[in-house]
Structure 1
């Protein structure tokens, strides 16, 4: 009997050998296994001999005048070989589900205002089509989402050019260019203004923003128009910003994606696009990393949702 392999070694065992072993065990003969596999009896015999050598040389079958019988070593191997075969069948089934988008997972993230309308519409369509895909979602600012994407925690991230995040190293799938609105209280002089306004008309206003500094926020648009806005109140959450505007404490910029969720005592006045749209919105993926079939389908759902959102009155 040959020496058994070192317990710390991992024997190189072909699944073809294990398949032949299980068929021989099932049929009790090399000939019966050969018929089941479509092989010759000698081919089955060679596979079993090779498997026995790889596992240290102990015989797996007693060769009888008529057929074969499992040895003690063979009986020990049977449940492990069956577990390997079952695992491979499960893997093939799951891979087919991923390929056909009937299973698998989708991990994506989005910035807050994209979550106001664009993402829910896309996700509703995706879930209706692919209910068995496991979906996880994260919300965050673009820089944080890109970090999660690069680290492999997300498959796709809906991001924007706000925040001056470095987008160059990512694969960017353009979704839309967003215009801006300025939110004013119902009694404001611009509340019934016809047509878009220039931001310069609000150079002396108090502003409500998520940051005390306009750089890297939507208020970058004011800097481009030649004035530095006076941020009177730093308020991060969009619902709270509306409350401050409604109370007459200042005005705020609103991206088009959030325009559909404005409370009735706040008015939105379109901002005149001077020098191009305020920001672009993308679905970002990691360059060189293939997107799963589920990710590709969700990207398609996002593009379809853009058409729906863009045709709404607030975006028209």
Structure 2
């Protein structure tokens, strides 16, 4: 109202332009003067003239209204998915399988959204989410009951079950089998993966009645397959990995008893309703499906 009074030079003109009555404009300007503690206008014939204080406020008014308009435009762009940023922390095999189709889908529909990818194995990825270093964390678990975070703290969207397979050199005696029992591999040398995968693998071997002889440990999926191909050991790994890396000198077979990991997306509780986060979760679910 103040800006319109300054622009038109009268309460009556400002009232007409803004759709108010003249007394309403006059009352609001008197309230503004009480708020700042000094008169802003003086009468000059039939019009108004700004006091020194009014001139100072008038200079700021244009910038204030411009900032508000800019903020409104930016907020509208974000809520309508014309702009915005989202940061995802994912483990390597998810970065190679789920992330590319997800990002491609979003970019095709909403090119103004900026997507940043960080890499991290769980639980480090979920810890990054809690610290605010990312907006969505992709993680996997093996024991659903004991490894799930507090539901009051994090929102969880289950994406897929990823079966475990055993990788063998093509020359291995069991390579012709349709599936391999874990207990049959008790005397083998092993190549283990990340900390969480290795811990679950050791527990599975214990349940099968043996302690694995682990020669190598690496979270590099290509290195695991290359070591197996060179005859330096065998490995159990998620089937997801072979969807983007498949060494020609190895074979993969289902392991029995059947085992799998659960892949899920996490965000802070309540953030699943933020437009860009909701869009990303929906696209991740479509990619997983």
Common fold: TM-score over 0.5:
yes
Question: Measured at CA, do residues 95 and 104 of structure 1 come closer, stay the same or move farther in structure 2, by a change above 3 Å?
Answer: same
Which residue of the partner structure matches residue 127 of structure 1?
Answer: 107
Which among 86, 90, 110 is matched to residue 66 of structure 2? 86
8 A contact 2:9–2:49 mirrored in 1: yes
Name whichever of 253-262 and 285-294 sits farther off: 285-294
TM-score (norm 2): 0.90
8 A contact 1:285–1:291 mirrored in 2: no
Deviations 1:49-99 (A, max 9, x none): 111221122x22222222112222222212322222122212222222222
Question: Measured at CA, do residues 213 and 127 of structure 1 come closer, stay the same or move farther in structure 2, by a change above 3 Å?
Answer: closer
RMSD (CA atoms): 2.2
Which residue of the partner structure matches residue 262 of structure 2?
Answer: 280
Which residue of the partner structure matches residue 225 of structure 2?
Answer: 242
TM-superposed deviation, 1:225 = 2.8
What secondary structure sits across from 2:92 in the alignment? coil
Which residue of the partner structure matches residue 118 of structure 1?
Answer: 98
Which residue of the partner structure matches residue 21 of structure 1?
Answer: 2
TM-superposed deviation, 1:36 = 1.1
Which residue of the partner structure matches residue 31 of structure 1?
Answer: 12
TM-superposed deviation, 1:251 = 0.8
Deviations 1:20-61 (A, max 9, x none): 11001111111111111101111111111111221122x222
TM-superposed deviation, 1:283 = 0.9
Distance, in Å, in 1 between the alignment partners of 2:196 and 2:106 is 38
Deviations 1:131-189 (A, max 9, x none): 11121221101111111212233222111105975524432211111101111223222
What secondary structure sits across from 2:180 in the alignment? coil
Q: Which runs of 5+ in 2 are unaligned?
A: none
8 A contact 1:162–1:216 mirrored in 2: no
TM-superposed deviation, 1:288 = 4.2
User: Going by fraction, where is helix more abundant, 1 or 2?
Assistant: 2
8 A contact 1:111–1:141 mirrored in 2: yes
Name whichever of 160-169 and 232-241 sits farther off: 160-169
Deviations 1:214-234 (A, max 9, x none): 753445433333322111112
8 A contact 1:211–1:217 mirrored in 2: no
Distance, in Å, in 2 between the alignment partners of 1:212 and 1:131 is 37
Question: Measured at CA, do residues 292 and 224 of structure 1 come closer, stay the same or move farther in structure 2, by a change above 3 Å?
Answer: farther
Q: Which runs of 5+ in 1 are unaligned?
A: 1-19, 308-316
Deviations 1:253-276 (A, max 9, x none): 2212111112222222222343xx
Distance, in Å, in 2 between the alignment partners of 1:148 and 1:238 is 23
8 A contact 1:221–1:278 mirrored in 2: no
Distance, in Å, in 1 between the alignment partners of 2:48 and 2:284 is 61
